[in-house]
Amino acid sequence: MVNKICIIGVGLIGGSLALALKKTGFCQTVIGAGRNQHRLEQALSLGVIDECELDYAKAVADADLVFISVPLGAMEEVFEKIRPGLKSHTIVTDGGSAKHSVIEAASEKLGVQLGQFVPGHPIAGTEKSGVEAAFDSLYQNRKVILTPLEDNTPESVKLVEHMWQSAGAEVEIMGARHHDLVLAGTSHMPHVLAYGLVDCLNNAEDVEEIFDFAAGGFRDFTRIASSDPVMWRDICLANGDAILAMMHKYQETLDTLKQAIAQEDGEQLETLFKRAKAARDKFCM
């Protein structure tokens, strides 16, 4: 049980955590911080936060726990701005989709206080964004990955774990590099591939007709290309090495498929398609 939590960046992710923690009584008070007074007041009037503050150092000063849910590109600035107000007992965690780059930013900006930062990533979200989309059950039965640092005390990791469990999530621990590679494969690369496919077709002469005949499968396949372009730009910049490594692996599979199609090798195509269907049905059903 925690007295005050500070949420920096009160959108879908931060707002939903605030709602969940208030509902379960994990904390007494939530203070929301952000760059936009109007949106913070919206969060206040929706009952998502209890107080608001534009100055990040002031916002974290009385908090026991700080959750940073800003775009990856803004993480470094947030670490820099909170440091002057950060008490030595306060634990900081985040919701960034790539972990290595956030840890680097924290390392640079938090200095000797780096041990107070427990990196995390809730695997949750919807196509919507903004505090008005926040809801208290977003994290129910969802996974949250923590990638603790050597400098973290076991107690600080436990506190963050407990916070997510209170919000209904299941917590897993892994290394940051490993996290970044797993997420590159299952999330970051698929987004890049989907954006690329839509852009590729969009450059065709008969683009209107092409999309006109797109069926349900295409809509499903390209749904993630409707995601926020700035957020995904930031993820590509923050996790580029892992994404490129996965794209290199994928390229090998594509080359195999192209060769099989060119050589009319039905057996190879059927073998690969069957293996993929079995894996998809096994893991995703």
Residues 153-212, interacting with its own copies (CB under 8 A): 172, 178, 182-183, 185-187, 189-202, 204, 206-212
Q: Restricting to residues 67-86, which ones interact with its own copies according to CB under 8 A?
A: none
Helical pair 240-262 and 229-238, crossing angle rounded to 10 deg: 100
Least spacing, CB of residue 180 vs its own copies, in Å? 12
Q: What are phi and psi of 58, to 5 degrees?
A: -70, -40
Least spacing, CB of residue 55 vs its own copies, in Å? 28
Nearer to its own copies, 54 or 278 (CB): 278
The site for its own copies, by CB under 8 A, has a size of 85
Q: Restricting to residues 244-273, which ones interact with its own copies according to CB under 8 A?
A: 244, 247, 249-254, 257-258, 260-262, 264, 266, 269-270, 272-273
Least spacing, CB of residue 148 vs its own copies, in Å? 17
- Please give the Cα distance from 48 to 224 (Å, whole number): 27
The burial of 70, by beta-carbon neighbours within 10 Å (0-12 exposed, 13-18 middle, 19 or more buried), is given as buried
Q: Which residue, chain included where needed, has tokens 């952000």? A: 34
The correct pick among 9, 119, 125, 148 for binding its own copies (CB under 8 A) is 125
Stretch that binds its own copies, among 22-30, 41-49, 81-89, 227-235 (CB under 8 A): 227-235
Stretch that binds its own copies, among 14-22, 32-40, 64-72, 213-221 (CB under 8 A): 213-221
Question: DSSP states of 5-70 as a string?
Answer: EEEES-SHHHHHHHHHHHHHTSEEEEEEE-S-HHHHHHHHHTTS-SEEES-HHHHHHT-SEEEE-S
